[in-house]
Amino acid sequence: METQDSALKTNSEWWRGAVIYEVYVRSFLDSNGDGEGDLRGVIEGLSYLERLGVDAIWLTPISPSPNFDSGYDVSDYYGIAPKLGEMADFKHLVADAHERGIRVILDQVYSHSSHLHPWFKESASSRDNPKADWYVWSDPKPDGGPPNNWLGRFGGYAWEWNPVRKQYYLHNFLTEQPDLNLHNAEVRGEILKIMRHWFDLGVDGLRLDVVNFLMHDPELRDNPPAAQEGATNPYYMQAHVYDRSRPENLPFLRQMRDVADQVGDRMLLGEISCDQQVERMAEYTGPGLLHTAYSFELLGQKLNGGHIADAITRAGANGAWPCWAFSNHDVVRVASRWGVTGRVDRIKLLQALLLCLRGTVCLFQGEELGLPHADVPRHHLQDPEAIRFWPNHRGRDGARTPMPWTNEGESLGFSECVGWLPADAAHGPLAISEQEAKEGSILNHARALIQVRKQSAAIRLGSWEVLGADDEWLIFRRVFAEETLVCGFNWGKVPISFECAGKCLAGRVDSGVIHQDQYAIMRVET
């Protein structure tokens, strides 16, 4: 009899059409009562994720880190952060997930490291040590200023002075996150070695943080200004031509893909953070490059059917395979961002829309519950971006608060004590315990839709054809082999015509129309 684990090994393109659940490890479930989620907490939560029906979990960074940026400042690429557990816990998690038919994707940060990483300490110690060129160093201008006008994502110049070397080092993000010099062949070789390390431990895929930031312009040319008005962060006043999305990235992505292919049945998921995001997704998932990539294209401020239709169409150009999400740990949760908090039918419509799109889907922790963005008081903020740009930018902490497992206690079942971020009491009525046995709950709706996607090759793998789109509605066709589906979604006040004979797999149609906050997924009769 074939086990779930052995079945996993038979599908080399398992990532196509998969539903990937993003586990924000620090906020998922605390197993030891220290207020911080951990690997044993993820293990305890696997039964919940199995019932939800997801194909894979994406674990946010679990490597040792001083946590200046919540784990995205790595100080040891080969280890496990002590507060999150031990290597034995990680191996247990991978084995248990595989037994349940769930693959494991691990977040990896190769653009930059922590300033406390031994590599950087050595690099910063002199200009002639063995790792002197492992980071991006440059002499000052004659007036002592930084070598160019590049700005950091979290404010200020992207350069920090080092008095020992008497040079500046590049940091696209925090000063505590110096950029690795991936123009250096030794550094690239070390990154490929790190990839093999985690693949050898059974990891099924790697989520590559800010993958378009890997390389920089070796000439360090100034960025031109951008036509951006009203930006609260000066970073967005530049056109980032020379500090990200460089053509030099692509040859290294091919080397990374070669490593994944050599191991077999492994995937690479890239995060694209830049202008021209849809075109960049298609470029980075071309032949021999990343398997799939996601951007922030559908993580903006408006729900617009025409925009979604155009993005899906362009991102799939030339056979590229995109990945889509409506929320993640870097943006305001979709229920708040698109103004649907408490509107159960609209939240269910958005779940169905996301799960019917062509590509792979990422479902952020808590989206299956319909959670709104949490309100985190200023004195509890952890996000460096929020702290720096308060009050004009509230940051990302509101998306990262503890998962509500129950509607009891100060931490809503996440921990025995107050978490590293406080739980939001408004999440209590939406807790897992409140929704699990409730017929028609947002959670059970998500479960049902994931099953519809699993059982339909047309949704997972099929072609994409837009039949109609406007600001407040969208209709498209998905076809694979002998199966044809027509999917219609209406979030506007005006009913839309939906004359489609066939079996309704989910949603509803009333007398040939779809009313506001209704949707229909129809299998066309042939």
Q: CB of 352 within 8 A of CB of 449?
A: yes
Please provide the DSSP assignment of 224-286 as one string: PB----S-SSGGGGB--SSSSS-TTHHHHHHHHHHHHHHH-S-EEEEEP-SSSHHHHHHHHTS
Query: Per residue in 8-33, is it b (16+ CB within 10 Å) or e — as a string?
Result: beeeeebbebbbbbbbbbbbbbbbee
Q: Where are the beta strands (DSSP E) in 442-525?
A: 463-470, 473-480, 483-490, 496-497, 502-507, 513-514, 518-524
Sign of the four-CA dihedral 268, 273, 275, 277? positive
Q: Is 200 a catalytic residue?
A: no
Q: CB of 493 within 8 A of CB of 516?
A: yes
Query: 105 has which bridge partners?
Result: 58, 205
Q: CB of 447 within 8 A of CB of 282?
A: no
Dihedral angle of Cα 459, 461, 467, 471, to the nearest 10 degrees: 70
| Candidate list 22, 265, 271, 368, residue with the active-site label | 271
| Candidate list 209, 283, 383, 385, residue with the active-site label | 209
Q: For residues 325 and 357, what is the distance between their CA atoms, to the nearest angstrom?
A: 10
122: its two tokens: 């050595």
Q: Which stretches of 53-135 are DSSP H helices?
A: 87-99, 118-123
Q: For residues 353 and 34, what is the distance between their CA atoms, to the nearest angstrom?
A: 38
3-state DSSP assignment of residue 151: strand
Of the chain, the end-to-end C-alpha distance in Å amounts to: 36
Query: 206 has which bridge partners?
Result: 106, 268
Q: For residues 458 and 480, what is the distance between their CA atoms, to the nearest angstrom?
A: 5
423: its two tokens: 């739980």
Q: Which stretches of 79-184 are DSSP H helices?
A: 87-99, 118-123
Q: Is 265 a catalytic residue?
A: no
Q: CB of 226 within 8 A of CB of 383?
A: no
428: its two tokens: 């209590």
Q: For residues 356 and 455, what is the distance between their CA atoms, to the nearest angstrom?
A: 12
Whether a cis peptide bond, with omega within 30° of 0, leads into 391 is yes
In terms of Cα–Cα distance, which of 408, 407, 409, 402 is closest to 25?
A: 402
Please provide the DSSP assignment of 388-449 as one string: HHTTT---SGGGSSPP---S-TTTTTS-SS--SSPPPGGGGGGSHHHHTT-TT-HHHHHHHH
Catalytic residue list? 209, 271
